[in-house]
Structure 1
Amino acid sequence: MSVPMRPDRFLDLLLAVVLIVLLFNLHLWVITTGPEGSIAEISRDMLARQNFMHPRLLGVNDFSHLPLPLWLTSLGMRLWGINTFGARFFIQISILVQVIFTYRIAMRLFGSSQVGLFAGLIYLSCPLVLACSRYLSADILLATFELAAIYYILLYHLEKLPAALYGLAIAFAGGLLCGGLHSLLLPITVGTYVLTFGPHNYGIHWRHGLAALIMAVGLTCFWFVHASHHLPDIWAFIRQTFWQDTFFGPPRHPRWQYAITFLLGSLPWWFLVLPNLASPVWQNPNVLPVCITWLALPLGFYTLTGSASLAALLPLVSGFSILVSYWVQFLTKQQVWRYSRWFAQIYGCLGMLAFMVPLGYQILGQPLQSTWPMVITALSTLGLVLLLYRFIRAGVRIRLVAMVLVPSFMLLLYGGYYTQANGPWKESANVVSQIIQQRQLESLPVLVYNEALPSLAFALNKDTITINDGIVNEAYFQTTQGWEPRWIRLGNPEDNLYLRRLMTDPSVLVIPGDLPDRWNWVKINYPEMEWAGRWQVLYRSQ
């Protein structure tokens, strides 16, 4: 008689397979403009200079990004090369670690390894998690430390293991070096629930607690002590980074997007939860406090302040996944069969649309390409949905998870091939770098007019020169000597002379949109011009 596999061993084997899938066509998702490009370029520059304590963006010292995401991104590039795969490698590792912490937290909350296993797999199947696996953001890495802090709070409160205090210290330090005060919000709200409604077990190992506190302070403060020697006003920087941007800064997204992203990013599991709100799950004393402290309060904070990226919702999706996994345990066999049929129909339709829409557009002569990898992946999605629905027994709960997880990963792979054929989902300077590389102009100086474009510098793996005509605000950057050759201010006569010398030699000029009339004279120096997206690429190769 065969011995059933333990849930933790099954999860380890599954995560090994998931890691291969996550990494499979990761290189097809190019780095986009915006914060993602800034992180990638700062990390590339750190690695190129072998200087990991003085971050620079486009040649200018820049301490506006906290260091841990930069170091991990640089390490990924050191392992796999300066490319998209290397830049996002530790994002994939981070997501797998989040799955493990989700599994362990669910086990501690509900005392069931099956609930923990389902929680980890449900989390992995959510659209927001899969979308974040193809993006480079400090908040994705931050989510790992937030979940780690919650886990170690639970572990110490329930089992009084001194090692949990040191784990908590590392989690807090890592969170502060990733996201500042944002990292404390979720651990504080969930920790308050644990201390208030959990077992009244308030004893603490004071020596270990003091040592853990010293460890957390030491791991966190060394960076700010270092930064204080390079910033003109360290306290103004801390107020801006840790206080103003967290509570009173301009919203990073429209406030309504947080709730909508949370709902859409955790589909299709709401189709299971909403019809069963009257389920006996509420009899468990952990369910309502988790809903309030883990979901409602943090989501309300992000909605009111607008101070986080949408990737900051990942820990909330983890908490929702834990609740859904507990909900699944109360479903009857008939309900499992019905919901698995719904999920099969949903993902079957998505697979059919992925196959038909690009192919139909291409037949009609519209600018949407359908490639063989796209066709094969879409048809494989349809085939796997049918196989899973037919061969997994109707009343088995794992059928629900499989009907969502497997086709979701197939559609993730499809998205990579779609991006390769039709361009990225968000604006990217990759189209500019392709022209420069195809024309073999990489060795020439690359000038960018009136736009900070770090994603282009990353794609070319070289420093670019920014021409500031009053739009880009270099006061945002923290500057020291040595940055002037990479940052030309047109109001400065010396910079104007330097620019004219550059333009009279072979070089490349990238212009967003149309060039102002007063600058039409520069076209005399550049006999060749091509459009790449919204940019003009002017160049002279000799």
Structure 2
Amino acid sequence: MKFRELLIVAISFLLLTFNLGSWGITETSESRYAEISREMLVNNDYVHPKLLGIHHYHKPPITYQITTLGYKIFGVNEFGARFFLQIAIIIQLLLVYHIALLLFNKKSMAFTSMLIYFSLPIVLISSRNLTTDAYLTTTVLASVFFWLYYKLKGLKPIYIYLFFLMLGLSFEIKGPVGLLFPLVFIICYKVVLKDKFKITSHHVLGVLLFLVVSFMWYIVVFIENPILYNYFFKEQIVNRISAKSYNRSKPFWFYIATVPAIGLPWIFFIIHQCIKKFKTIKSERSYAFILLISTSIILVLFSIFKTKLILYVLPSFGFIAILAAKLLSNTSENLLKKYQNIIIGFTLLIAVAFLVVVMLDIDFKFQLFTAIIILIIAATSITYIIKHKTLSNYIKTGYLGFVFGAIILISGTQFLKLNDAQLNSTKKVFEFVNNELPNKQNIVVYNYLLASAQFYSDKNVITLNDGHNTVQRETQFETNDQWKDYNLNLSTEGGKKQAKQVLEHNAVLITRKKRDLPDYYSYLRQPLPHRPEIGTWVIYY
């Protein structure tokens, strides 16, 4: 790699880690991962994930284990929780570069692929929110790289073993869905290029390696608790594909509506070029066609699945970045300049939008000085790139994309820092509770699984179950009834009585502003006359 590639990687790392711990852990997904990892560290149990004291087997524990390493290095805080996500993004940049280099053997195209990948909003979103998706994307891209390296270079068999190792880690991170991305790519590669499947002894041994790595944790917990087998197969695989599980069911067209936004500013260019040049791309049966078909199949499959979230399709955006770089390389100078203007327009629009936020009287805050600095950085960077005489328009387009991503990252981080309470973080809530109400022993949460409560406070956390989907805990794996002391069911008279007793003695009640305590439970808040609001939360004490 040249100096420019290493410089971009270094700048990317600085941008990714800048103010990384300045906003609070957000509900719901990030807080779950952060708190499960914290409990794993505190309990020194890296095999059995727990959330607020109850076993939580939704995912294998690799993401939690990585996060505990962040805690060990940086402490149990937001920076420690998110740090290794940034390392994952940096590794992804390098993998995208080297996959593009393997496919097209052009360093300029590989470099542009890396620049485009960093500019994709979905990639930047994954760096700000602790979930499995960034880690899965890393192992998926690594598996594709090692398979291609073995296939195209024909060198040492170590690369086929590394491929199967990455497949195993993908399975360990998110289960069978992690295999979908590389397998779709490989099948498309074989079909498009009419490349026959050849099985050697190394493939057989590689499959054995995959089985050991992917099923190691599952076998351990299955031996301890055989009912987990049915739970994983039915609840975590079948129901996520075919049923409306975990309140994440979305219509078929969900990704059709969201991919253009999370793939800005490149998706419309890709669609335009693919429609315009589809016959040529198809007739050439090239790597570009493989990337296009692979991505399309993946998006269709995930559209068919019932449960959908934006980040579920993140691993396919490595293919999208490389495809965009390839299509750009075959674009006329005139069209490149037009597309540069579009990217510049999007970049300046984002920078100006934060100036507008400062001027408008709305709930969200932003600092005028910061908004001006961001606009100056954007304008200066754009001017420097456009005026640079030694850069080709092809590379300029990639650099402008990188600036687009950098502006999103800088402004987005500052926005999160100033508005975390409005964006479902409870950090300021518990700063208030810990500082102003230090003698309160119990934190009672109405009808919501507030995972961050234990992350930010060492007080007892008691959940009032009034039917919300988040408080329906999977307690079949518990070996005693201790969990019932901290999970009170308001549909029973006993639960209501317990809740009333707890709230009468040294307790704080927390509710969501949009789902406040109903009037028919007004007797529960009678001992709590004070009602401050912080962001999206209400505190009774």
C-alpha separation between the residues in 2 aligned to 1:485 and 1:534?
Answer: 27
Letter paired with 1:226: V
Q: Structure 1: which 5+ runs fail to align?
A: 1-5
Shift of 1:281: 5.6
Q: Which residue of 2 aligns with 1:3?
A: none
Cα deviation 1:503-538 (Å, max 9, x = unaligned): 343222213344344533333433433223443312
Letter paired with 1:162: P
C-alpha separation between the residues in 2 aligned to 1:124 and 1:461?
Answer: 38
In the alignment of these two chains, the number of paired residues is 528
Report 1:391-410 matches (<5 A). Answer: 391=388, 393=390, 395-410=392-407
Q: 1:224 to 1:270 in 2, by over 3 A?
A: closer
C-alpha separation between the residues in 2 aligned to 1:490 and 1:338?
Answer: 61
Q: Which residue of 2 aligns with 1:358?
A: 357
Report 1:143-182 matches (<5 A). Answer: 143-160=137-154, 161-182=156-177
Is 1:38 aligned to 2:32, yes or no? yes
Shift of 1:288: 5.5
Shift of 1:393: 4.7
Report 1:45-444 matches (<5 A). Answer: 45-160=39-154, 161-198=156-193, 200=195, 202-206=197-201, 208-231=202-225, 233-250=227-244, 251-277=248-274, 278-279=276-277, 284-287=284-287, 289-355=289-355, 357-361=356-360, 365-371=361-367, 372-391=369-388, 393=390, 395-423=392-420, 426-441=423-438, 444=441
CA contact (8 A) 1:344 1:389 kept: no
CA contact (8 A) 2:136 2:315 kept: no
Cα deviation 1:295-331 (Å, max 9, x = unaligned): 1111000111133421122222211111111122223
Q: Tell me the secondary structure at the aligned position of residue 114 of structure 1.
A: helix
Q: Which residue of 2 aligns with 1:449?
A: 446
CA contact (8 A) 1:58 1:466 kept: no
Shift of 1:155: 1.9
Cα deviation 1:328-348 (Å, max 9, x = unaligned): 222344443333233223322
The alignment's TM-score, normalised by the length of structure 1, stands at 0.88
Shift of 1:200: 4.3
C-alpha separation between the residues in 1 aligned to 2:80 and 2:366?
Answer: 27
Indicate the larger mover: 167-176 or 368-377.
368-377
Indicate the larger mover: 398-407 or 379-388.
379-388
Cα deviation 1:161-180 (Å, max 9, x = unaligned): 31112211221111111111
Indicate the larger mover: 85-94 or 519-528.
519-528
C-alpha separation between the residues in 2 aligned to 1:442 and 1:262?
Answer: 48
Q: 1:88 to 1:442 in 2, by over 3 A?
A: farther
Letter paired with 2:84: F
Shift of 1:72: 1.4
Q: Which residue of 1 aligns with 2:485?
A: 485
The alignment's TM-score, normalised by the length of structure 2, stands at 0.89
C-alpha separation between the residues in 1 aligned to 2:434 and 2:476?
Answer: 29
Shift of 1:500: 5.4
Q: Tell me the secondary structure at the aligned position of residue 532 of structure 2.
A: strand
Q: Percentage identity across aligned positions?
A: 23
Cα deviation 1:176-226 (Å, max 9, x = unaligned): 1111111111211111123334484755541x3343323222222221122
Shift of 1:291: 4.2
Q: Structure 2: which 5+ runs fail to align?
A: none
Q: 1:443 to 1:49 in 2, by over 3 A?
A: farther
C-alpha separation between the residues in 1 aligned to 2:487 and 2:97?
Answer: 48
CA contact (8 A) 1:109 1:286 kept: no
Cα deviation 1:478-500 (Å, max 9, x = unaligned): 43324333323356777667655
C-alpha separation between the residues in 2 aligned to 1:110 and 1:212?
Answer: 27
C-alpha separation between the residues in 2 aligned to 1:366 and 1:503?
Answer: 35
C-alpha separation between the residues in 2 aligned to 1:500 and 1:108?
Answer: 65
C-alpha separation between the residues in 2 aligned to 1:137 and 1:184?
Answer: 18
